[in-house]
Amino acid sequence: MAEWYLGTMGFGYKDWQGVFYPAGVRSRAYLEYYSQIFNAVEMDTTFYGIPAHLQWRVGLAPRRRDSRICAKTPRTITHDMSLAGSASLMKEFADAMRLLGNKLGAILIQLPPSFDITHHLALAAFLEELPQAAAGMRVAIEFRHRSWYTPQTVELLRTQGVCWAATEYPHLPGRSTGRPASFISAGSAGTGVTIITTTSALTRRPS
């Protein structure tokens, strides 16, 4: 039996007022309403830096016992450093995310469109150090360049149990070439929907 977590890439969008959020709902009540519909949310604020104190962010999770947060890796690691030499910073980020406890569903590593297959060695070195940086955590990588869509990429991720975050973009293939991890992460750039599922029939990672 699979456990499904369905949510969106953020929840505090003003243009959702009157469309998703009923007219008259104040912004401070967005999360309470959101939590009636979804049990997951992508934390985009971490993309801009590692928060100094995360305890208060537990309150940003959908207010359900089964809710989960998908935290996006800081752009310093993915965009500025292109993963190279980022092991210590990745560990710092992962350690900060541990403060979320069982609310943390997965860490998302969203690579920029410019990160193509020529960065293969940087990715391989990063994945080699990932077990020490993010021990016991679910990690998903989102590729946004079509050169990565090969069986070799799937095998590279499988060696570390890292999930391929399958996101739908018009310029990318409709599917990856395999399933390298014990959980699935999928999303659509057009709809802003994020899905994470774990399957009990497979080896389960700690929540």
- Evaluate whether residue 117 is within a structural domain: yes
Query: Of the given ranges (12-16, 76-80, 183-187), which has the lowest mean pLDDT?
Result: 183-187
- Evaluate whether residue 204 is within a structural domain: no
- Evaluate whether residue 205 is within a structural domain: no
For the domain that residue 131 is a member of, what is the CATH number? 3.20.20.410
pTM over 0.75: yes
- Report the b/e string of 178-198 with b at 16+ CB within 10 A: eebbbbbbbbeeeeebbbbeb
Q: Cα angle vertex 71, ends 105, 95, to 5°?
A: 90
Residue with token string 């009990």: 200
Residue 205 has pLDDT above 60, yes or no: no
Q: How many domains does the chain have?
A: 1
- Evaluate whether residue 69 is within a structural domain: yes
pLDDT computed for residue 184 by the predictor: 54
- Evaluate whether residue 12 is within a structural domain: yes
- Evaluate whether residue 207 is within a structural domain: no
The boundaries of the domain holding residue 161 are 2-199
pLDDT computed for residue 207 by the predictor: 30
Range 127-131 average pLDDT? 95
Residue 125 has pLDDT above 70, yes or no: yes
CA distances from 157 to 34, 44, 162 (A): 33, 23, 5
- Evaluate whether residue 154 is within a structural domain: yes
CB 169 within 8 A of CB 145: no
- Evaluate whether residue 206 is within a structural domain: no
